[in-house]
Amino acid sequence: MKSLFFLQQFPESLLRPTIDFILSVQCEDGRIPWQPGDKTDPWNHIEAAMGLSIGGEYGAANAAYEWLAKLQREDGSWFASYGEAAKVLEDKRETNFIAYIATGVWHHYLITGDENFLQRYFPVLERAINFVLRYQSDEGEIAWAVNKDGNARDDALVTACASIYKSIDCAIACANQLDIEKPHWEQAFERLGVALTDKPHRFDRNWESKARYSMDWFYPVLTGAFQGDAARARIAQRWNEFVIDELGCKCVSDEPWVTVAESCELTMALLAIGDKRRAAQIYSWLHQFKNEDGGYWTGFVYPDDALWPEERTSWTAGAVLLAADALSGYTNAADLFTNHGRELTNEQAAFAQAQQRRSGEAAQ
């Protein structure tokens, strides 16, 4: 397994069933629920759609984004959860869920070079980002959720803000590609970054600290808020609390439960700090949790030798594919979470230009 990576070799035979698994969960209208008959939330829907883009299923990925576009509210938001038969849970809107559309759109554009796609969905992500930034405080952090009446829920989460940080970065990249200036996005991005690195007191103000969650540990590295020596120090500081040899990354430090999605995200965070060896090692442990249908079980309680919960979600499959791409360099979006420069690489720029030429020739 480890030898497949870092050689531009995507393990097609291993992961094609995982791509097909996401396709099997996707509904006719483009929605991708957690699993058949389950709820759909915007963030995990996009995570699964990104897996489809990696797998070359561009039509299915586009349908996923179109489903979101059709459901976007006039203010740019989405509700936190959508159920079967269009039943909507309207109690709150989570800001990191809303912002993630920018990450998904930029990811799909990097893979396909499809300028029409970028132009189609830029207004969607623009409205989403503008909505989210209404809830940024003077200190830089962003409220984690918004009530139905439009009032913010008064606190912020490290993981959620780290995810938003990456989404704003991707939104700016989309704008730059379209020659659109967004100075207020740039300012918000910088302020949020400072909050994440220098203002820990702005998070978990009104509830017990979420530091026991592994995502609070590595997400600021995964999304680029911490880079270089600071990122390496952050990962080293709590490694032994969260990583279980031969299994993966725990979801929370005080529970004997490793989860596949968190392990995949940690894999990418390790690549971001240049630790390729441990990234490949952790990823190699995860395929023992793959089911015959191509899906991956959410987690494993190791004292009980038990898979728990008994679910295989579309977003876990998406995370598996994102990590595989990051390890193998398979697509032009492989470094989205591992190299936080906003400019296209020479290869990405050449690919995008070639795709634009092909589109122009096809239109003639």
Q: Are 314 and 261 in contact (CB under 8 A)?
A: no
pLDDT of 25: 98
CA distance 149 to 74: 14
The yes-or-no verdict on residue 345 having pLDDT over 90 is no
Q: Are 87 and 78 in contact (CB under 8 A)?
A: no
Average pLDDT, the chain: 94
CA distance 144 to 311: 26
In this prediction, residues 11-31 reach a mean pLDDT of 95
pLDDT of 45: 99
Two structure tokens written together for 45: 């829907």
In this prediction, residues 156-171 reach a mean pLDDT of 99
Two structure tokens written together for 219: 């997400």
CA distance 267 to 278: 8
Q: How far is CA 21 from the centre of its chain?
A: 18
In this prediction, residues 5-32 reach a mean pLDDT of 87
Domain ranges across the chain: 2-363
The pLDDT tens digits for 194-215 are: 999 999 999 999 999 999 999 9
The yes-or-no verdict on residue 121 having pLDDT over 50 is yes
Q: Given pLDDT bands bounded at 50, 70 and 90, which one contains residue 1?
A: very low
Q: Are 265 and 319 in contact (CB under 8 A)?
A: yes
Q: Which residue did the predictor score with more confidence, 87 or 268?
A: 268
CA distance 176 to 218: 28
Q: Given pLDDT bands bounded at 50, 70 and 90, which one contains residue 361?
A: low
CA distance 65 to 48: 11
DSSP H helices, 199-275, are 214-222, 228-242, 260-272
Q: Are 72 and 129 in contact (CB under 8 A)?
A: no
The yes-or-no verdict on residue 174 having pLDDT over 90 is yes
pLDDT of 12: 84
Q: Which residue has the tokens 């097909």?
A: 20
| Secondary structure E strands in the chain | 81-82, 88-89, 92-94, 145-147, 243-244, 248-249, 257-259, 299-301, 306-307
pLDDT of 2: 44
CA distance 100 to 121: 13
The pLDDT tens digits for 210-236 are: 999 999 999 999 999 999 999 999 999
* Angle, helices 115-133/158-177, rounded to nearest 10 degrees: 140
CA distance 240 to 338: 22
The yes-or-no verdict on residue 245 having pLDDT over 60 is yes
pLDDT of 348: 82
Q: Which of 91, 238, 60 is nearest to 158 (CA)?
A: 238
Q: Which residue has the tokens 């965070």?
A: 269
Q: Given pLDDT bands bounded at 50, 70 and 90, which one contains residue 364?
A: low
The yes-or-no verdict on residue 82 having pLDDT over 90 is yes
End-to-end CA distance of the chain: 46
Of 34-38, 87-91, 109-113, 332-336, which range is least confident?
Answer: 87-91
Percent of the chain with pLDDT over 70: 95
In angstroms and rounded to an integer, the radius of gyration of the C-alpha atoms of the chain is 19
Q: Given pLDDT bands bounded at 50, 70 and 90, which one contains residue 16?
A: very high
Instruction: Write down the architecture of domain 2-363 according to CATH.
Output: Alpha/alpha barrel (1.50)
Of 68-72, 285-289, 336-340, 359-363, which range is least confident?
Answer: 359-363
pLDDT of 5: 53
Give the burial class of 244: count Cβ atoms within 10 A of its Cβ; 0-12 exposed, 13-18 middle, 19 or more buried: middle
User: Is-cis flag, bond preceding 256, omega within 30?
Assistant: no
Type of residue found at 327: L
